[in-house]
């Protein structure tokens, strides 16, 4: 299913008061941050989106897809389900190689593809996953021995290429040891809509909009300024540098160079 637009209507906060905005539109390829203290309603918002709520949840929030009320089938039929989820707690549990795992998943999706197409897709997924993590993933590696960062990177690349969910919900994955900005770029490139619960400034300031949550409702929709995006880029550069040095240390190298200069707008 092609999703061009999601519309979220305000809903009510914990005291039953109406939130102070009417509705917000989100377009394909946009990143939306969800910020706010514990208990402010971030998870409930993700839940409402995941459910494609239409007034039946406790916030009475309503969500439209392409200006229409989503069909019930979209919520229940696994093949049509349009929401992908990625959280910090997720692990792989299948005892098989990365290659076999991806192959099974591609076949599960039921697309008729030649052996060669499948092999090429697997190569591409691993290649892109390796731009997200510092430690290289190999085809033959067993899924269960992947590190936290490698697992997360593979999950992101898999979400981008195989799980065709056009909407992706990401719940606090900032500390997972991955180049998170590359990860998001990979998903956005695929025209996905991303909702991202985060307190990490690199992520929150690199979105198109962010929802500031309070007392169960969306209190404000903040449009990310150019300046904020610049700050996000700069912080991201520092983060990537940190990961690079970490890799050098991991590989038993002497760290030779201190990088001081960077372009604030990044590459």
Partner 1 sequence: MKIIIFGGTPGSGKTSIIKYVVGELKGLKIHYAKFDVLSSDDDKRIKEKFDISTEVKISGELCPDHYAALEIPKIIEKHKDKDIIIIETAGLCLRCSPYIKDSLAINVLNILAGKPEGYGPLLRDADLVAVTKGDLISQAEREIFRAEVLKVNKNTSLIEANGLTGEGAIDIADAIKKSPEIKEKMVLRHSMPTAVCGYCYGNKIIDSEETLKRYHLGKELKARIPNLNCGKCGFKACNEFIRAVLDGEVNENKCPYLKKEGEK
User: Residue 147 interacts with partner 1 (CB under 8 A)?
Assistant: no
- For 58, counting Cβ atoms within 10 Å of its Cβ (0-12 exposed, 13-18 middle, 19+ buried), the class is middle
User: Residue 54 interacts with partner 1 (CB under 8 A)?
Assistant: no
Nearest to 50, CA basis, from 162, 202, 171, 163: 171
Spatial distance between the Cα atoms of 154 and 20, rounded to a whole number of angstroms: 39
Considering only residues 100, 113, 165, 239, which one is a binding residue for partner 1 as defined by CB under 8 A?
Answer: 165
Q: What is the CA radius of gyration of the chain?
A: 20
User: Residue 162 interacts with partner 1 (CB under 8 A)?
Assistant: yes
User: Residue 51 interacts with partner 1 (CB under 8 A)?
Assistant: yes
Q: What mask, x for binding partner 1 by CB under 8 A, covers residues 203 to 232?
A: ------------------------------
Spatial distance between the Cα atoms of 115 and 2, rounded to a whole number of angstroms: 27
User: Residue 101 interacts with partner 1 (CB under 8 A)?
Assistant: yes
User: Residue 76 interacts with partner 1 (CB under 8 A)?
Assistant: yes
User: Residue 158 interacts with partner 1 (CB under 8 A)?
Assistant: yes
Spatial distance between the Cα atoms of 212 and 48, rounded to a whole number of angstroms: 16
Q: What value, to the nearest 5°, has the Cα angle with vertex 246 and ends 242 and 250?
A: 175
The residue ranges that bind partner 1 (CB under 8 A) are 43, 47, 50-51, 56-57, 75-76, 78, 84-87, 89-94, 101, 104-105, 108-109, 151, 155, 158-159, 162-163, 165
């Amino acid at each position: 299913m092609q999703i061009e637009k999601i519309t979220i209507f305000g809903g009510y906060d914990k005291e039953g008061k109406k939130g102070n905005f009417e509705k917000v539109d989100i377009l394909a390829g946009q990143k939306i941050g969800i910020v706010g203290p514990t208990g402010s309603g971030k998870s409930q918002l993700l839940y409402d989106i995941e459910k494609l709520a239409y007034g039946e949840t406790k916030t009475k929030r309503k969500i439209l897809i392409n200006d229409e009320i989503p069909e019930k089938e979209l919520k229940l039929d696994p093949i049509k389900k349009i929401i992908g989820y990625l959280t910090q707690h997720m692990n792989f549990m299948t005892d098989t190689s990365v290659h076999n795992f991806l192959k099974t998943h591609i076949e599960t999706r039921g697309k008729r593809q030649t052996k060669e197409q499948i092999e090429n897709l697997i190569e591409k997924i691993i290649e892109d996953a390796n731009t997200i993590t510092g430690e290289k993933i190999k085809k033959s590696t067993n899924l269960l021995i992947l590190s936290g960062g490698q697992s997360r990177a593979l999950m992101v690349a898999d979400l981008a290429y195989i799980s065709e969910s056009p909407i992706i919900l990401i719940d606090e994955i900032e500390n997972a040891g991955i180049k998170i900005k590359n990860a998001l770029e990979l998903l956005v490139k695929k025209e996905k809509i991303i909702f991202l619960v985060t307190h990490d400034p690199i992520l929150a300031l690199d979105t198109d909009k962010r929802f500031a949550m309070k007392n169960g409702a969306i209190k404000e929709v903040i449009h990310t300024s150019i300046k904020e995006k610049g700050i996000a880029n700069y912080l991201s550069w520092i983060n990537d540098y940190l990961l690079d040095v970490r890799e050098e240390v991991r590989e038993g190298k002497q760290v030779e160079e201190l990088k001081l200069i960077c372009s604030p707008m990044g590459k």
